[in-house]
Structure 1
Amino acid sequence: MAQALGAAVIDEEASLATRAAWLYFAGGFTQAEVAARLNVPSVKAHRLISRASRDGLIRVFVDGPVAECFHLEEAIKQRWGIEFCHVSPDIGESGLPLKTLGLAGAAFLRSQLESGGEMVIGIGHGRTLAAAVAHLPQVPGTKARFVSLLGGLTRKFSASPFDVIHRLAERTGAEAYVMPMPVFANTAADRAVLVSQIGIADVFALARSATLMFAGIGEARAEGSLVASGMLRADEVADLERAGVEGEILSHFLGADGRVIETPLSQRSISVGVEDLHGRRVVAIAGGPSKTSAIRAVLNSDFLKGLITDEATARRLVGPIPGA
C-alpha cells in the first residue's frame, strides 16, 4: 500500500526493505537478527533483503527512503527552515552512531563529487566527519578542491586525529589546502600575525569562497571531543558552560537560542569568521545522545542549510510527529 506524502510517495514495503538492507549490510546484523529487529518472520526478512538487492538499492551505499526517517527529515526541514536533511536509519549502535552517520556522510560527499563541475569544498573537524571520509570510496576525476575551514593542530602541535583533509585528497586525487596552525592561537594578536602570513592568507581566502562548507558540531562538555582531541582544556570548556554555550561549529560558540556567544576563545579562533557562514551552503553532520542540545543550538543559529543526523537524534530533536 502506498502512502502519499505531499509530492512524494513512500511504498511501505520498499521502506521496510530499505531498513532491512541498512541493518543487514551496514549494521552487520544476521538475517535472524534483522527479522527480530523488524518484528517479522525470518522468511520475510530474507525476502526484504532480496528485494533491496533486486531493486538496485545495494551498491556501495544503501539508497532509498525509510518512511520513518522521511517523516523526521521533513519535520526538521520545516521546523528550522533548512533546505536539506538526511536522517540515517537506526542500526542499533550505542553511544555515538559513527557507522550509520559515516555511511550517510560518505553518500552525501560522493553525490557532491559526482555531480561534476568545479567546486571548492570547505572541511571542518570531528569524529563523525572523519567517519564519513573513512567510508568514502575512491572518487577519481573530480574537479573539486578541498580546503580546511580552521586550524588543524592541537595544543601539542600534533595533527588532530579528526583532521580529514589529507584522507580526502588520497581518495579523490583532488587538490587539498590545509591550515597548518592550531585551532586557537595564544592571543588575539598572535592570531592576527598567523593569518596574515603569505600562503595562509591565500588559504583563508579560498576557504571563504567555498561552495560547500561541511562541518561537525561540538558540545561544551568536559567529556566531549573538543577536550579529548586536545583542542580545548577542561577549564576552558567549564568557562564556556558558565557563559551559556550549548553548541559549537567551526570554533564559533552558540547559546541554546542560536545566538553567537563571544568568549576570550572567540578572539583567538583560527577559522573562517561568523560573517563567512551567513548565507553560505553550510551542511553539518552530527548525532548521538550527548549532541542533541548542541545540534539544536546550531539549527537555531540559521547558519545551516543542511543537516545529516541519525534517527534517534532526529527523534529527540523534533519529538513525536503526529500521523507518522
Structure 2
Amino acid sequence: MQKPLPSPAPPAPPLEFDDLLTFAAWLYYVDGLTQSDVAQRLGVSRASVVNYLQDARTRGIVSIRLDPAAASRIGLARRLAERFGLVAAHVIPSIAETAGSDAGRPDRRIGTAGARILADMLKPGDTVGVAWGRTVLAAARATVASEIKGLTIVQASGSSLSTDDFSPELCTSLLANQLGARCLNFHAPVVLSSRALRDQLLAEPSLRRQFEHIRAADIILFGVGDIGPGSTFAASGMADAAELAQLRKTEAIGIVIGRLIDAKGEAVASDLDARIVGISLAELKQVPVRLCLAGGAHKRSAIAAALSGGCATHFVTDATTAEALLAGK
C-alpha cells in the first residue's frame, strides 16, 4: 500500500517579519484572521498561536489601547442599569444632528443599535411583541435578513390611522419579513369610539387569540414618546387636537405603546386609555425581556418615567440622553 505523501511544510514568514510571533500577531490583529486560521497558516497548534499573541503583548510588539470614549459609554451603561434596575443598558456615541440629514437622528441610530441587540437575543421558537414609532421602525429596517426557526412577530397594539410610515402594522410586518418569521397583525384600530365598543370587540375570538400571543411574548420591542404637538403620538391620529390639549393638562408625561404614563411610570387613567386596543402597562411588565429603544432631549422626562416605572429590562440610548438621565435632568 502506497504511503501518503507528507504534508507540505508551512510557508516561512516573509522577510519583513523576524519570527513567527510577529507574523502571527500581524495575521490576527491586522488581517483579522481567527486563531484557528492563523494556526493553519503557520502549521502550528492553536495553543501555540495563543502563546504567540500573549508574548507579542508582553514584549510590546502589540499594544492594546482602550478608547476613552468607549470606556465612558460602558461606564454610562453600567450606571444606567444600576440606577433604574435594568438587566442591561447599551449606550451609543452621541453625534450632532445635521439639518436635512438622517445621519445624526437619534431614532435612526438608536434603532440600528437596537436591531443588533435584538438579533443577539432571539432564539428559535420565540414570540416577539412589537410596538410602533420612528425608533422601532428604524430597528425593523436595520434588522439583518435572516431566518430563525419558529419565530413569531406579533403586533402589540391596534392599527393606526396615521398616514406616516411608523404605523404599528408596518413595524411588525417589516421586522417579520426581515427575520423570515410568522407575522400576526392586529385587525382592529388602536382607538375605538367608546369603551363599550372596545370591550365588545375584544370578546371576538380572533382578537382574543391575538392577546394570547401578546401575553405569551418572550420579548417585546418598544419606544418611549412624549405628548407634545410634534410627537409621534400627536402624528398617530390616536387623539385629535382637543383631546391632546386636554391630556397635556393631566399628570401624563409620556407614552409607552399607546399608554399614557405619569412621572413615576404608572398608567394615567383617561377616557382615551379606556378606548385603546392593545397591550396594557401591566401586561407589558409581565413580558420577560422588555427592550426599550429611546433617546432625544425632548423625551428625557418621559424616558426617565418609563424606566423608573419598570417598563424596561433592557435599554438602548445615546450618550447625551444617558448623561441627562443620570443627572436627573
Listed as ranges, the gaps of 5+ residues in structure 2 are 1-28, 35-66, 99-103
2:253 counterpart of 1:246: yes
2:128 counterpart of 1:124: no
The amino acid across from 2:171 in the alignment is V
What's the RMSD between the two structures over aligned residues?
Answer: 2.5
**Structure 2 residue aligned with 1:187, among 194, 203, 214?**
194
5 Å matches for 1:133-144? 133-144=140-151
Q: Percent identity?
A: 26
CA distance in 1: counterparts of 2:216 and 2:144, whole angstroms: 26
CA distance in 2: counterparts of 1:123 and 1:191, whole angstroms: 21
CA distance in 2: counterparts of 1:134 and 1:181, whole angstroms: 24
**Structure 1 residue aligned with 2:106, among 59, 75, 97?**
97
Shift in alpha-carbon separation, 1:267–1:70, aligned structure 2, 3 A:
same
2:280 counterpart of 1:273: yes
2:82 counterpart of 1:78: yes
Shift in alpha-carbon separation, 1:221–1:118, aligned structure 2, 3 A:
same
The corresponding residue for 2:290 is 282
The amino acid across from 2:82 in the alignment is Q
Listed as ranges, the gaps of 5+ residues in structure 1 are 1-50, 57-63
Deviations 1:47-77 (A, max 9, x none): xxxx798599xxxxxxx99212111111111
CA distance in 2: counterparts of 1:285 and 1:136, whole angstroms: 14
Shift in alpha-carbon separation, 1:291–1:159, aligned structure 2, 3 A:
closer
2:154 counterpart of 1:150: no
5 Å matches for 1:106-121? 106-113=115-122, 116-121=123-128
The corresponding residue for 2:242 is 235
TM-score of the superposed pair, with normalisation by structure 2: 0.73
CA distance in 1: counterparts of 2:33 and 2:246, whole angstroms: 53
Contact 1:152–1:159 at 8 Å: present in 2 too?
no
Contact 2:253–2:260 at 8 Å: present in 1 too?
yes
Q: Secondary structure at the match of 1:309?
A: strand
Q: Which moved more, 1:250-259 or 1:77-86?
A: 250-259
The corresponding residue for 1:226 is 233
Contact 2:130–2:222 at 8 Å: present in 1 too?
yes
Q: Secondary structure at the match of 2:201?
A: helix
The corresponding residue for 1:317 is 325
Contact 1:102–1:135 at 8 Å: present in 2 too?
yes
* C-alpha deviation, 1:305, in angstroms: 1.0
Structure showing greater radius of gyration is 2
Deviations 1:155-197 (A, max 9, x none): 78x9854531111121111101011222111110111122222
The corresponding residue for 1:306 is 314
TM-score of the superposed pair, with normalisation by structure 1: 0.74
Q: Secondary structure at the match of 2:196?
A: helix
Shift in alpha-carbon separation, 1:52–1:97, aligned structure 2, 3 A:
farther
The corresponding residue for 2:304 is 296
The corresponding residue for 2:72 is 68
CA distance in 2: counterparts of 1:295 and 1:159, whole angstroms: 23
The amino acid across from 1:68 in the alignment is S
Q: Secondary structure at the match of 1:291?
A: helix
CA distance in 2: counterparts of 1:72 and 1:109, whole angstroms: 20
The amino acid across from 1:70 in the alignment is I
Shift in alpha-carbon separation, 1:139–1:193, aligned structure 2, 3 A:
same
May I ask how many residue pairs the two structures share in their alignment?
260
Q: Secondary structure at the match of 1:66?
A: helix
Q: Which moved more, 1:300-309 or 1:158-167?
A: 158-167
The corresponding residue for 2:9 is none
Deviations 1:218-274 (A, max 9, x none): 111111111123232232222221111111112221111222211111101111123
